[in-house]
Structure 1
Amino acid sequence: MTQSEPEVGLEPDRPNAARMFDYYLGGKDNFAADRAAAEMVLQVAPWMPEAARQGRELIARTVRHLVEEKGIRQILDLGSGLPTRDNVHEIAHRIDPEVRVVYVDNDPVVCSHGRALLADSKAVSVLQADLRHPEQVLAHPEIGGAIDFGSPVAVLMMFVLHLVPDEQGPQRIVASYRDALAPGSYLALSHAGTDAHPELMARISAIYQRANSPFVPRSHADIARFFGNLVLEPPGLVNMWPYAEPPATDDPEVAGTGYSGVGRKP
Structure 2
Amino acid sequence: MSRPEWAPYGVDLDRPNAARVYDYYLGGAHNFAADRTMAEQALADWPELPLIMRANRAFMRRAVRFLIDAGVRQFLDLGSGIPTAGNVHEVARAAAPDSRVVYVDIDPVAVAHSRAILGDDPRVVAAQADLRDPPAVLDLVRREGWLDLSQPVAVLLVAVLHFVPDGDDPGCIIAAYREAIAPGSYLAICHASADGQGERAEKHRALYARTPTPMTMRSREQIDALMKGFEPVPPGLVHMTRWRPDDVDEEPVNASNFPGYAAVAFRP
Q: Using the alignment, how far apart are the partners of 2:119 and 2:154 within structure 1? A: 23
Q: How far 1:35 sits from its partner (Å)?
A: 0.6
Q: Using the alignment, how far apart are the partners of 2:204 and 2:26 within structure 1? A: 17
Q: Equivalent residue for 2:43?
A: 42
* Structure 1 pair 143–73 and aligned structure 2 pair: CA distance change class (3 A): farther
Q: Using the alignment, how far apart are the partners of 1:254 and 1:129 within structure 2? A: 33
**Which one-letter code corresponds to 1:95 in the other structure?**
A
Helix, strand or coil: the match of 1:62? helix
Q: 2:253 aligns with which of 250, 256, 266?
A: 250
Q: Equivalent residue for 2:63?
A: 62
Q: TM-score, normalised by structure 2?
A: 0.92
Alignment of 1:60-99 (within 5 A): 60-67=61-68, 69-99=69-99
Q: Using the alignment, how far apart are the partners of 2:184 and 2:255 within structure 1? A: 35
5+ residue gaps, structure 1: 1-6
**Which one-letter code corresponds to 1:183 in the other structure?**
P
Q: Equivalent residue for 2:174?
A: 174
Q: Using the alignment, how far apart are the partners of 1:86 and 1:14 within structure 2? A: 28
Helix, strand or coil: the match of 2:96? coil
Q: Equivalent residue for 1:236?
A: 236
Q: Using the alignment, how far apart are the partners of 1:134 and 1:217 within structure 2? A: 22
Q: Deviations along 1:136-192, whole A, 9 cap, x unmatched?
A: 111115665011111111000000000111111111111111111211100001000
Q: Using the alignment, how far apart are the partners of 2:205 and 2:153 within structure 1? A: 33
**Which one-letter code corresponds to 2:73 in the other structure?**
R
Q: Using the alignment, how far apart are the partners of 2:146 and 2:159 within structure 1? A: 24
Q: Using the alignment, how far apart are the partners of 2:179 and 2:165 within structure 1? A: 21
The answer as to 2:134 corresponding to 1:134 is yes
Q: Using the alignment, how far apart are the partners of 1:136 and 1:8 within structure 2? A: 24
Q: What is the RMSD computed on CA atoms of the aligned residues? A: 1.7
- More relative contact order in 1 or in 2 (CA 8 Å, sep 6+)? 1
**Which one-letter code corresponds to 2:257 in the other structure?**
V
Q: Equivalent residue for 2:17?
A: 16
Helix, strand or coil: the match of 2:76? strand
Q: Using the alignment, how far apart are the partners of 2:103 and 2:143 within structure 1? A: 10
* Structure 1 pair 237–35 and aligned structure 2 pair: CA distance change class (3 A): same
* Structure 1 pair 259–63 and aligned structure 2 pair: CA distance change class (3 A): same
Q: Deviations along 1:233-257, whole A, 9 cap, x unmatched?
A: 10000001532627621225533x0
Q: TM-score, normalised by structure 1?
A: 0.93
Between 156-165 and 193-202, the greater mean CA deviation after superposition: 193-202
Q: How far 1:8 sits from its partner (Å)?
A: 9.7
Q: Which portions of structure 1, spanning 4 or more consecutive aligned residues, are displaced by more than 6 angstroms? A: none
Alignment length (residue pairs): 258
Q: Equivalent residue for 1:262?
A: 264
Q: Equivalent residue for 1:4?
A: none
5+ residue gaps, structure 2: 1-7
Helix, strand or coil: the match of 2:238? coil
